Amino acid sequence: MGRRLIRLALQAIGAALVASGILWALQGLGIIMWPEDSIMLARREWALYGAITSALGAALLLIAQRMRF
């Protein structure tokens, strides 16, 4: 049961990181201009931070997928 709980946690955290990273990247590239008062809008460094965050989330999802019971 412990490994299943760890796997579920890794999947949830990984999915959240991928989703937020994509949002940050799109805001940084100026594709999503919401919310209007965000400091991330059209700032290239946030596109990089988003890509890194998404990659970390994808790595967690991959680790969770490869876990054996």
Domain spans of the chain, in order of start: 2-66
Q: Is the pLDDT of residue 50 over 80?
A: yes
Q: Is the pLDDT of residue 61 over 80?
A: yes
Measure Cα distances from 2 to 15, 63, 69 in Å: 20, 16, 10
Q: Position of tokens 């967690």?
A: 60
**pLDDT value of position 68:** 81
* Distance in angstroms (rounded) separating the CA atoms of residues 9 and 40: 28
**pLDDT value of position 1:** 73
Rounded mean pLDDT, 19-23: 98
Q: How confident is the model at residue 33 (pLDDT cuts 50, 70, 90)?
A: very high
